Amino acid sequence: MVGIKPTDLQPTAAVKFFGAGTAACFADLITFPLDTAKVRLQIQGESTAASGSAVVKYRGVFGTIATMVRTEGARSLYNGLVAGLQRQMSFASVRIGLYDSMKQFYTRGSENANIVTRLMAGCTTGAMAVAFAQPTDVVKVRFQAQVRQSDGLKRYNGTMDAYRTIARDEGVRGLWKGCMPNITRNAIVNCAELVTYDIIKELILKHDLMTDNLPCHFTAAFGAGFCTTIVASPVDVVKTRFMNSTAGQYSSALNCALAMLTKEGPTAFYKGFVPSFLRLGSWNIVMFVSYEQIKRGLTRTQSSWESPF
């Protein structure tokens, strides 16, 4: 459109929806080994407490990655990647792509959203994402947690086999295992991640510290990743433990949290904190920077189609 800069064009809800899912998949491809290491560290105390053994297999994020590569091969770092990408396309498209639309819904079309409105929008889209995409998260966690046995057997042979096996052995409800702690986690993550990014970016632009470009997006994304890790780590550990547990191991997510507290102490809720931060920080940077660029690219393309002359 003549006389309008690309940065002045407002992306549509469809552009945000598709762009968020695409950017999240791109971020997952880059940071997935860190996420797998985080899951292994989070469930490590569980097996130790159950067996009464003090043997620690994984030590630190890079030590975990090295151990997995040595004992299971490099491909083990990407166990559950297919389910992870399925999860991001469904989760991120809703929780991130619809965030601005939900803000406008709560403000009845106004662009001036206060902190309460932003928190409500983050909680809403986070819960909506879990409502229909929970099975992808369950399968992803199961794949990341599984260790190849000495006889070469694995818990699941493939993504679709995992969906079928869980539904057959645990019922359809098994695919929605940990749904409530995941709703809680996603509400917290969404609020911490999106609201923090929103506010930091807004303050940077308001005080003319940077322009609306890559350094600004990088800074806001890094801050959002750190804040998200701090507030979401305890819920994330409980979610991972509960999703990966065998039938009857825990009666509920709350029972899982209490078992962790009594057997391993409060520090158990921050197991895998470093890989969580490395993963969330890097994931946020890649995702938000990609998301901003994808939105601009798709908006320019859409504009050129609508106004070819």
Both tokens of 288, joined, read 């938000």
- Residue 159 pLDDT: 81
- Residue 147 pLDDT: 62
Compute the mean pLDDT over every residue in the chain, rounded to the nearest whole number: 82
Coil/strand/helix, residue 47:
helix
In whole angstroms, give the CA distance from residue 215 to residue 229: 21
- Residue 47 pLDDT: 53
- Residue 304 pLDDT: 66
- pLDDT exceeds 50 at position 291: yes
The Cα-based distances of 181 to 87, 177, 234, 244 in angstroms read 16, 9, 10, 13
- pLDDT exceeds 60 at position 52: no
Average pLDDT, integer, range 41-68: 70
In whole angstroms, give the CA distance from residue 29 to residue 39: 16
Both tokens of 136, joined, read 């992808």
pLDDT band at 6; cut points 50, 70, 90: very low
CB-CB contact of 161 with 147 (8 Å): no
131-184 pLDDT per residue, tens: 778 888 888 878 777 765 544 566 777 788 888 888 888 888 888 887 887 787
CB-CB contact of 88 with 21 (8 Å): yes
Of 170, 175, 220, the closest CA to residue 194 belongs to: 220
pLDDT band at 302; cut points 50, 70, 90: low
185-229 pLDDT per residue, tens: 788 888 888 989 999 999 999 999 998 999 999 999 999 988 888
Of 287, 187, 256, the closest CA to residue 42 belongs to: 256
pLDDT band at 8; cut points 50, 70, 90: low
231-288 pLDDT per residue, tens: 888 888 887 788 777 777 888 888 888 988 998 888 888 887 887 788 888 889 999 9
In whole angstroms, give the CA distance from residue 185 to residue 183: 5
Buried b or exposed e, range 168-198, using 16+ CB within 10 angstroms: eeeeeebbbbbbebbbbbbbbbbbbbbbbbb
- Residue 267 pLDDT: 86
Q: What percent of the chain has pLDDT over 90?
A: 17
87-136 pLDDT per residue, tens: 888 888 998 999 988 998 898 877 778 888 998 998 899 888 887 788 88
